[in-house]
């Protein structure tokens, strides 16, 4: 027996199974079993394990003297390894951005010192904040507090200096 296709076909027939029965046991289509037995396709490793259990043969006996399948398995393994490496690089580029959490937090707190800037800069900080930052929720909470405090301080500053400048009274303390 030279090829895996011949091995699968003769073993199935000798065990008394039909292609349909094997397909049902493996939860695949009958056409897949036919392709395996004609050499147009090869079963994946999981199905090879199931076939070895069904036929009562070791995988080694099923694959013995089948250099084409072994070469194809090696090629597929190298392709899988290459794809895993590419996936790791993509994941690193997407999710390993700098953690700007501390910088955004400090920027928000400092912006609260100057009232008009403390209204606008925390909005930018909240837009810039991502869920991958270490202090994601803390930055949002502090930015909202700084915005509220800055709005109050800006309204007081504006009222004292522009809207009612003549009503400011200075008292002398003895």
Residue 173 lies in a domain: no
Shared domain check, 72 and 50: yes
Mean pLDDT across 124-131: 86
Shared domain check, 46 and 106: no
Mean pLDDT across 63-77: 74
Residue 1: pLDDT band with limits 50, 70, 90: very low
Shared domain check, 113 and 71: no
Shared domain check, 80 and 134: no
Q: What is the pLDDT of residues 4-42, one digit of tens each?
A: 788 888 888 988 899 999 999 989 999 999 998 898 988
Shared domain check, 76 and 133: no
DSSP 19-50: HHHHHHHHTS-HHHHHHHHHTSS---HHHHHH
The first and second tokens of residue 154, run together, are 């800006």
Mean pLDDT across 76-98: 80
Number of compact structural domains in the chain: 2
Q: What is the pLDDT of residues 134-161, one digit of tens each?
A: 788 898 999 999 999 999 988 888 887 7
Q: 19-58 burial by CB neighbour count: b if 16+ within 10 A, else e?
A: beebbeebeeeeebbeebbeeeebbeeebbebbbebbeee
Shared domain check, 64 and 46: yes
Domain residues for the domain of 33 are 4-93
Is the distance from CB of 52 to CB of 64 less than 8 angstroms? no
Q: What is the pLDDT of residues 45-59, one digit of tens each?
A: 888 888 888 888 888
């Amino acid at each position: 027996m030279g090829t895996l296709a011949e091995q699968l076909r003769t073993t199935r027939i000798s065990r008394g199974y039909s292609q349909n029965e094997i397909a049902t046991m493996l939860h695949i289509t009958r056409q897949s079993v036919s392709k395996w037995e004609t050499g147009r396709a090869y079963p994946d490793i999981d199905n090879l394990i199931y076939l070895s259990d069904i036929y009562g043969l070791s995988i080694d006996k099923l694959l013995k003297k089948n250099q084409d399948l072994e070469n194809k398995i090696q090629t597929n393994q190298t392709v899988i390894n290459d794809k895993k490496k590419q996936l790791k690089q993509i994941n690193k580029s997407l999710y390993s951005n700098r953690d700007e959490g501390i910088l955004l937090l400090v920027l928000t707190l400092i912006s609260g010192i100057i009232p008009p800037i403390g209204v606008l800069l925390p909005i930018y900080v909240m837009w810039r904040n991502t869920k991958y930052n270490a202090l994601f929720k803390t930055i949002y909470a502090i930015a909202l507090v700084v915005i509220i405090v800055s709005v109050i301080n800006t309204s007081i500053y504006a009222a004292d200096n522009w809207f009612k400048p003549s009503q400011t009274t200075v008292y002398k303390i003895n």
